[in-house]
Amino acid sequence: MAVTLKVNGKTHTLDIEPEMPLLWALRDEIGLTGTKFGCGIAQCGACTVHVDGVAMRSCSVPVSTVTGKTITTIEGLAAADGKLHPVQAAWVAEDVPQCGYCQSGQIMEAAALLKKTPNPTDADITAITNICRCGTYVRIRRAIHRAATTKV
Amino acid sequence: MGHIEPVGAPDALSRRKFIVTGLSAAGGLALGIAFPNLASARPLGDAPWSNDALATPAEVNAWIVIDPDETITIRIPHSEMGQGAATANPMIVAEELECDWAKIKGEFASPNRNVRENNVYKDQNTVGSRGVATAWQYLQQAGASARVRLVQAAATRWNVAAGECVAENGAVVHKASNRRFTYGQLAADAAKVKLDKEPEIKSPDQFKLIGKPLPRLDTPVKVTGAAKFGIDAKVPGMVYAAIISCPVVGGTVASVDESGLKGKRGGLKVVKLKDAVAVVADNTWRAQQGLDALKIEWNYGPGANSDSEQMKQMYRETLTGPMVQVRADGDVAPVLAGGGKVIEAFYQVPHLAHAPMEPMNATVDLKADRLDVWIGTQNALGTTGQASRASGLPQEQVYVHNGYLGGGFGRRSTNDEMIQAIAIAKEIGKPVKLTWSREQDIRGDRYRPQAAAQFRAVLGSNGVVQALEAKVAVGSINRSQGRPVENGIEGQAVDGIVNSPYKIPNFYVGGQMKNTHLPVSFWRSVGGSQNCFFYESFIDELAHAAGKDPYRFRRDMVERVDFVGVLEKLHETSGWETKLPKGRGRGIAVAENHGSVVGTVAEVTVNDRDQIKVDRLVVAVDCYHVVNPKIIEAQMESGAMFGLSAVLYGEMTVKAGQVQELNFDTYRIVRQAEAPTVEVHLVPSGGKKWGGIGECGTATIAPAVGNAIFAATGKRVRELPLKNVKLSQLASL
């Protein structure tokens, strides 16, 4: 069946099952591989994207629930002119990524947090449950505070 | 370049421009601020797949290409899995080149060319913390050899002695006649220069670039989603595969009922392997759905008769049997039998999974005369060999395109998933991308071995250790991987104990290798991951028995400059002498691991419900020479969190031969909420040796935390993980 997804400002009409998780529509059908597969059960957050500005774990979101909504992936986070989102810029400044695999999800999660809570406390950051096996948590924390002071 | 354009390659240039624009627009985050005279090198490309072309005219040697526009491409032999080799390796080459760091561009070295050109890129095996520790000499040599050839090429053109010419800032200058050629103008000539002998490399006191906290070259592509990992490879015409292996390792497929696939879309095809079943489809999710719809019967085999309790018993019993002696100073027997009080302790830890964030995967395109593999591997050259054996093609016809690795930690040095993908491709006749589910990633892991240790020691009346006997029982990695165990023991079995720095007149270390049906392999910090917990916890027990401060007890037993430096730095920076309130404790541990000396002070809080929170970790490390302090600091933070996940949660529970923890809901990893602050101190003591950095940070976390718990509660933790430990039920010591 035809499913229409609005991703990073582009509309994609896909012939896919309504129950297909958004993650696999993004990666295998649309070809946006910045969103990562980590666990498939919404535990790790490597697949985090924004749906109408809210962070969601796309491995566990059927496409039928997000048709017509505004989906943003890591590829669409920077401004159209290429200017990095403050969270991405803060990630560069703090040299956060190691292997980098979880960082798309970490950045999307942090960007959503800052949108909702522009000046997050340590406790707000602690509520993030995305897993980083390289353990970059100390730098993620620093980078979120840095991004909060940079402003969008 | 392979015959297929990897995803992302066509727009690599525009993307690079995008990144540079983004950086400057974001407020001058480029290096200029930190180092006014040192602009950043170019970020690495998003598609890391190596260039397999053979020598070009712009190539000075296999490591260095200098284009007419003065861009200097440096080939990176080691895999980038977060540990920073892709920044540190080019820094070492560039150190010798006398050129502007801003002109440098990194590119991963071709494993295929390495095969064809007699290991020109050496072992290309990123294991054992070797990315710098065993590579610095040949990397410096590559830079020095190129520089001297560039100088000779200029001298020949000018018809002057090479000694009159100087290489500086990307050019060769003849000061007497005020003439100058840029490297780009000399590269082709330099490649033809023959030298009687290769030049000497710089000594550390001459370093100008090495030692600087330069930004990582892979960061820009890792914040935009552009960086390609193995799992992101896309080959025209490829199909997607999902797989399940027998839940009991060693078992085989008995039968597969495919009736559940009827009516499902995706062009589903079933491929039966000896010990696994795969489903191929036109999308990863459809392949996974297809796999779930199969009814598979397995022959579980003898492994099904084992469980965790039985394994624990086996390792405990092994400790009462014969040992292979690895170290014997003096004679422990008469002291232990001498009538003094013998302090004894038994320790044990379970198997652990690596669980890198990127599940294992491989994309293969198998043709009659050529095999292309897209994968993230720690062992690019070894993977080429494995692919050759699995495909039947000679190594020269195998092209491994190594991606950025979504974590390695030892898991990505063998490639079971690639062997499976090749088998599937043989049957399907199309390019195949095989992606393991997280469950398959943990079920199909080669685990950190289970282990146990028994210690006995006697203190003198002055509280000084007179004799210490250490016995270890642990799984053999060699045996598990089909290699012989030389002399009945392997290094990892006793690493972290046998290299104890303490002055103990009578010291015995013995070990015995014993395997279960679970395959075992190298897991970040390897033997240190269990032995440092065992040994440094027991040393803490002895300090307590001697009535001494745990720092002072250790400090009084060491003479080596590296151990003294690390211990004293920890003492100084942790606030060791300050008191913590009730319910909190501070613990210390120190060890040698992968060629470096590392130590940790942990601070913990234990509440009256037995809940343990690690609040703060202070880490000091002596790796003798520092290439990039920022990366080392990050590796220590990383190693600490990796160790902490194991301390708090890590275990494979085995029931009827099957590992029970198959995803992150049960195989828990430390998250932001459990992450303590980490303070890192580098105390390089110089000298001839260069230490490893990727693994050592994990080794002393467990004992430091355990010792801190003892300081807080008087309860000694002798078994991990802590989630199973009820402190209130342990005896107070």
Q: What is the pLDDT of residues B550-573, one digit of tens each?
A: 999 999 999 999 999 999 999 999
Other CB atoms within 10 A of residue B160 CB: 15
pLDDT tier, B15 (very low <50, low <70, confident <90, very high otherwise): very low
Task: Say if the Cβ atoms of B224 and A40 lie within 8 Å.
Answer: no
* Cα(A116)–Cα(A103) distance, integer angstroms: 20
> Is residue A80 a part of any domain in this protein?
no
Residue identified by tokens 């008087």 is: B714
Residues A8 and A67 grouped into a single domain: yes
Residues A95 and A68 grouped into a single domain: no
Domain that holds residue A94: 86-150
pLDDT tier, B8 (very low <50, low <70, confident <90, very high otherwise): very low
Nearest residue to B80 (alpha-carbon basis) of B91, B71, B89, B68: B89
Tens digits of per-residue pLDDT, B491-530? Answer: 999 999 999 999 999 999 999 999 999 999 999 999 999 9
Q: Across-strand partners of B597?
A: B592, B622
Nearest residue to B605 (alpha-carbon basis) of B728, B711, B680, B701: B711
In this predicted structure, what is the pLDDT of residue B50?
85
Cβ contact B726:B608 at 8 Å: no
Q: What is the DSSP letter of B352?
A: B
Q: Which fold has domain B230-301+360-435?
A: Aldehyde Oxidoreductase; domain 4 (3.30.365)
- Please state the domain extents for chain B: 12-222, 230-301+360-435, 308-351+447-729
Contact residues, B window 482-511, toward A, CB-based 8 Å cutoff = none
- The stretch B335-362 carries a mean pLDDT of 98
Residues A71 and A9 grouped into a single domain: yes
In this predicted structure, what is the pLDDT of residue A151?
56
In this predicted structure, what is the pLDDT of residue B55?
75
Cβ-Cβ contacts under 8 Å for A52 (sequence gap 6 or more): A69, A70
Tens digits of per-residue pLDDT, B200-230? Answer: 999 999 999 999 999 999 999 999 999 999 9
Tens digits of per-residue pLDDT, B700-714? Answer: 999 999 999 999 999
CA distances from B730 to A132, B546, B710, B714, B724 (A): 33, 21, 11, 9, 12
Task: Say if the Cβ atoms of A99 and B406 lie within 8 Å.
Answer: yes
Number of domains making up chain A:
2
In this predicted structure, what is the pLDDT of residue B25?
30
Q: CA angle, B713 as apex, B708 and B714 as ends, to 5°?
A: 90
Percentage of chain B exceeding pLDDT 70: 95
Q: Across-strand partners of B346?
A: B454
In this predicted structure, what is the pLDDT of residue B7?
33
> Is residue A129 a part of any domain in this protein?
yes
Q: Which residues of A touch B285 (CB under 8 A)?
A: 20-21, 23-24, 28
In Å, how far from its chain's centre is CA B228?
19
In this predicted structure, what is the pLDDT of residue B37?
52
pLDDT tier, B733 (very low <50, low <70, confident <90, very high otherwise): confident
> Is residue A81 a part of any domain in this protein?
no
* Cα(A26)–Cα(B25) distance, integer angstroms: 29
Task: Say if the Cβ atoms of B216 and A132 lie within 8 Å.
Answer: no
Cβ contact A131:A44 at 8 Å: yes
Q: What is the mean pLDDT of chain B?
A: 94
Burial of B606-644, coded b for 16+ CB within 10 Å and e otherwise, reads: beeeeebebebbbbbbbbbbbbbebbbbbbbbbbbbbbb
Q: Which residues of B touch A140 (CB under 8 A)?
A: 672
Q: Across-strand partners of B269?
A: B280
* Cα(A119)–Cα(B61) distance, integer angstroms: 52
A139 touches chain B (CB under 8 A): yes
Task: Say if the Cβ atoms of A100 and B404 lie within 8 Å.
Answer: yes
Cβ contact B664:B362 at 8 Å: no
Per-residue pLDDT for B18 more than 60?
A: no
* Cα(B553)–Cα(B152) distance, integer angstroms: 58
Same fold for the pair B12-222 and B308-351+447-729: yes
- DSSP letter string, B429-451: -S-EEEE--HHHHHHT--BBPPE
Per-residue pLDDT for B159 more than 90?
A: yes
In this predicted structure, what is the pLDDT of residue B680?
98
Nearest residue to B95 (alpha-carbon basis) of B44, B156, B38: B38
CA distance B404 to chain A (A): 7
Q: Which CATH number fits domain B308-351+447-729: 3.90.700.10, 3.40.50.11900, 3.40.50.1370, 3.30.365.10?
A: 3.30.365.10
pTM, two decimals, is 0.95
Tens digits of per-residue pLDDT, B48-72? Answer: 998 888 777 789 999 999 999 999 9
Residues A91 and A70 grouped into a single domain: no
Q: Which of A35, A37, A74 sits opposite B224 (nearest CB)?
A: A74
* Cα(B206)–Cα(B144) distance, integer angstroms: 13
Amino acid in position B534? F
Report the SS3 class of residue B721. Answer: coil
* Cα(B573)–Cα(B619) distance, integer angstroms: 9
- The stretch B162-178 carries a mean pLDDT of 97
ipTM above 0.95, yes or no: yes
Class of domain B12-222: alpha beta
Report the SS3 class of residue B682. Answer: strand
Per-residue pLDDT for B659 more than 80?
A: yes
CA distance B646 to chain A (A): 11
- DSSP letter string, B610-625: S-EEEEEEEEEEE-SS
Q: Across-strand partners of B682?
A: B621
Cβ contact B252:B301 at 8 Å: yes
B312: buried, middle or exposed (CB in 10 Å: 19+, 13-18, 0-12)? middle
- Which chain A residue has the Cα nearest residue B376? A99
Residues A12 and A32 grouped into a single domain: yes
In this predicted structure, what is the pLDDT of residue B2?
30
Task: For residue A38, give the CATH number of its domain.
Answer: 3.10.20.30
Q: Which residues of B touch A38 (CB under 8 A)?
A: 357-359, 438, 664
Cβ contact B664:B607 at 8 Å: no
What are φ and ψ of residue B13, in 5° steps? Answer: -65, -45
* Cα(B74)–Cα(B87) distance, integer angstroms: 10
Cis peptide before B721 (omega within 30 of 0): yes
Nearest residue to B264 (alpha-carbon basis) of B238, B288, B286, B292: B286
- Of A75, A103, A127, at which residue does a domain stop? A75
What are φ and ψ of residue B212, in 5° steps? Answer: -90, 145
Other CB atoms within 10 A of residue B575 CB: 14
Residue identified by tokens 């990050």 is: B634
B675 touches chain A (CB under 8 A): yes
Residues A60 and A113 grouped into a single domain: no
Parallel/antiparallel/unpaired status of strands B658-659 and B596-606? unpaired
* Cα(A72)–Cα(B226) distance, integer angstroms: 15
> Is residue A105 a part of any domain in this protein?
yes
Other CB atoms within 10 A of residue B545 CB: 17
In this predicted structure, what is the pLDDT of residue B545?
98
Per-residue pLDDT for B595 more than 70?
A: yes
Task: For residue A97, give the CATH number of its domain.
Answer: 1.10.150.120
- The stretch B229-235 carries a mean pLDDT of 97
In this predicted structure, what is the pLDDT of residue A57?
98
CA distance A124 to chain B (A): 10
Task: Say if the Cβ atoms of B438 and A89 lie within 8 Å.
Answer: no
Per-residue pLDDT for B27 more than 60?
A: no
pLDDT < 50 positions in chain A: 152
- The stretch B455-474 carries a mean pLDDT of 97
Residues A53 and A91 grouped into a single domain: no
Q: Across-strand partners of B658?
A: B248, B655
Nearest residue to A98 (alpha-carbon basis) of B677, B681, B218, B233: B218
Q: What is the DSSP letter of B702?
A: H
Other CB atoms within 10 A of residue B579 CB: 8
